Structure 1
Amino acid sequence: MTDFQAIADRFEIEALRGEFTDARMMDDYDRLVSLFTPDGGLRIPDAGVRFDSREEIRAGTARLRDLWEFFLQTTHPGVIQVDGDTAVGRAYLQESGRLGDGRSHSNYGVYHDTYRRTPDGWRFTLRVYEIKYYDHSPLTGSTSYSGIAVPAGSDG
C-alpha cells in the first residue's frame, strides 16, 4: 500500500464517521444504514441495544429517536488502523438530550469500530458504543432561541 493510499483510506474512514453523525442528527435513517455493510451491526451494550443488520439498524434507530424530545451528538476523531481492505478504529463522542418523559441524558463515550472496504467505499461492519461517563442532571435549556435579544446592527 502506498503512503497516499493509506492517507486516502484514513480520510475516507473519517468522512464515514462524520457522515454517520450527520445522518443521525438529521434523522436520515436510509442514509445511516447505507453506511453499514449489509450484515453490519450497531450495539450499545449499556442500553441493551443490539442491531445485527441494516434492517434492524433502520427500524431500531428510528424507534429510539421517537423516545427523545431532542438529542444532540458530537463526534470527535480518534484512531484508525488500516490493514488492507479492513480497518479498526475508535471515535469519541458527547451526547445530550431530553427524553419525551422529561428525563435528561448527558454522556461521554467511545465508538469501537470495525470497517471494510466495499465497492461503494468504506463501510462499518460493527459499531459498538461504550459509555464512559453518564449524567442524568436535568437539562433546563431550550431547543430554540426564543426570547434572546440580538444586538442592533448584527447579522444574528
Structure 2
Amino acid sequence: MDMNELEDRYAIRELVEGWSDGANHRDWAALEALFTDDAVWDVGAPLSFQAQGARPIVALLREKMEVAEFVVQTPHAPRIWLDGNSARARTTIHEICRFRDGAGLEMRGTYYDELVRLASGWRFRRRVFRVTCFNAVAPAGQAFSEGQQLWPER
C-alpha cells in the first residue's frame, strides 16, 4: 500500500465519520459538504425514505431529527475498496435516539457507499442504509444537551 492509497483511505474514513459527527451534533453545513450535488441517500425499511441532492438530503435529515431530543450514531469497521477516482465503502452503524415525546429507538445497520474524488476531495455519490436490527425502545437515562454542542464552552 503506497502513501496515496493510505491518504485516500484516511480521507474516506474522515468522510464516513464526518457523517456521524455531523448528525450527532446537527452540523447541517458540514453534512451538506460531504455529498456531491447529485448524491442519493436511500434508507430502507422500516424507515424507508430517499432524497437526491446534497441540500435535499440534509433538509430531509433535519426534518427527521426535529423530533429527537438526542441522537448518537457511531460508525464501526469501515471497509474501503478504491478504484482510481471512485471508491466503495461499507460501514456498520449503531444508533440510539430518544424523541422529545419520550419514545425512541436503537438501531444497527450497514451503510453501502459509492464515493467519488472531486477537486475538493472525496464525497458521497450514493449512501444506501439497510437496517439489520431495529428496536423501538427509548434509551434510558438523563440527557445532557452539552453532549450535542459543536464545541464545549470553556
Q: TM-score range with shorter-chain normalisation?
A: 0.7 to 0.9
Per-residue CA shift, 1:91-146, capped at 9, x if unaligned?
1111111122322200111111010000000000011111101112342211139x
Are 2:106 and 2:138, in contact at CA under 8 Å, matched by a contact in 1? no
* Structure showing greater Rg: 1
Asked whether 1:65 is paired with 2:65, we answer yes
Could you tell me how far apart the structure 1 residues matched to 2:95 and 2:126 are? 20
Paired positions, count? 144
What is the DSSP-based 3-state SS (H/G/I as helix, E as strand, rest coil) of the residue aligned with 2:60?
Answer: helix
Match of 1:40 in 2: 39
Q: Match for 2:73: what amino acid?
A: Q
What is the DSSP-based 3-state SS (H/G/I as helix, E as strand, rest coil) of the residue aligned with 2:13?
Answer: helix
Match of 2:12 in 1: 13
Structure 1: gaps (5+ residues): 146-156
Aligned-residue offset at 1:40: 0.7
Match of 2:122 in 1: 122
Q: Match for 1:36: what amino acid?
A: F
Per-residue CA shift, 1:48-101, capped at 9, x if unaligned?
210111121121111111021221111113210000000001011111111223
The normalised TM-score by structure 2 is: 0.87
Could you tell me how far apart the structure 2 residues matched to 1:87 and 1:74 are? 21
Are 2:24 and 2:70, in contact at CA under 8 Å, matched by a contact in 1? no
Per-residue CA shift, 1:9-66, capped at 9, x if unaligned?
1111011111111111111111101100110111212212101111211211111110
Are 1:14 and 1:77, in contact at CA under 8 Å, matched by a contact in 2? no
Match of 1:154 in 2: none
Structure 2: gaps (5+ residues): 146-154
Match of 2:106 in 1: 106
